A and B are shown apart, each in its own frame.
Chain A
Amino acid sequence: MKKRILSVILSATVLVTSAAALTGCGSSDESNSEKVTITNVSYDPTRELYAAYNEIFAEHWKEKTGQEVEVTQSHGGSGKQALEVANGLEADVVTLALEYDVKAVQDAGLIEDGWISEFDKDSAPYTSTIVFLVRKGNPKEIKDWDDLTKEGVGVITPNPKTSGGARWNYLAAWAYADKLYNGDETKIKEFIKKLYENVLVLDSGARGATTTFVENGQGDVLVAWENEAFLSIQDYPDDYEIITPSISILAQPSVAVVDSVVDKRGTRDVATEYLSYLYTDEAQRIAGDNYYRPSNEEILKEYSDTFNLDINLVTIKDFGGWDEAQATHFADGGVFDQIYEEK
Chain B
Amino acid sequence: MRKKANKRVIPFFGLSMGVTLTILSLVVLIPLASLVIFTAQMSWSDIVATITRDRVIASFEVSFLTSFIASAINAVMGVVLAWVLVRYDFPFKRLLDGMIELPFALPTAVAGIALTSLTANTGLIGSFFDKFGIQIAYTRVGITVALVFIGIPFVVRTVQPVLEKLDSTYEEAAGVLGASRIKIFWKIIFPEIRPAVFTGFGLAFGRCLGEYGSVVFIAGNKPYETEITPLIIMSELQEYDYSSATAIALVMLLAAFLILFGVNIIQARNTKILKGG
Contacts and interface: CB of A to CB of B under 8 A. Distances in A.
Contact of A201 (B220, B224, B239, B241): B220
Nearest to A82: B240
A236 interface: no
B33 interface: no
A309 interface: no
Contacts of A7: 14-15, 18
Interface string B230-243: 01001111111100
A3 B14 contact: yes
Nearest to A162: B235
Contacts of B19: 11, 15
B97 interface: no
> Per DSSP, are chain B's interface residues mostly helix, strand or loop, or mixed?
helix
A159 B235 contact: yes
Nearest to A204: B216
A83 interface: yes
Nearest to A78: B238
Contact of A217 (B23, B25, B122, B244): B122
Contacts of A80: 238
Given A203-B221, A216-B122, A1 B234 contact: no
Interface residues of A, number: 44
Contact of A204 (B17, B26, B221): B221
A50 to B, nearest CB: 22
Nearest to A104: B240
Interface string B244-268: 1000000000000000000000000
A331 B216 CA distance: 21
Contacts of A104: 240
A16 B21 CA distance: 12
Interface in B1-22: 1-2, 5, 13-15, 17-19, 21-22
Contacts of A294: none
B138 interface: yes
A20 to B, nearest CB: 12
A1 B2 contact: yes
Contacts of A159: 221, 235
B172 interface: no
Contacts of B138: 200-201, 218
Interface stretch (A134-142, A277-285, A299-307, A335-343): A335-343
Contact of A12 (B14, B18, B220): B18
Interface string A20-60: 00000000000000000000000000000000000000000
A164 interface: yes
A159 B55 CA distance: 14
A325 interface: no
Nearest to A19: B26
Contacts of B146: none
B184 to A, nearest CB: 47
B221 to A, nearest CB: 4
A220 to B, nearest CB: 14
Given A4-B5, A83-B240, A340-B55, A216 B224 contact: no
Given A162-B235, A218-B120, A342 B241 contact: no
A7 to B, nearest CB: 4
A74 B240 CA distance: 20
Interface of B: 1-2, 5, 13-15, 17-19, 21-23, 25-26, 50, 53-55, 113, 116-117, 120-123, 137-138, 216-217, 220-224, 231, 234-241, 244
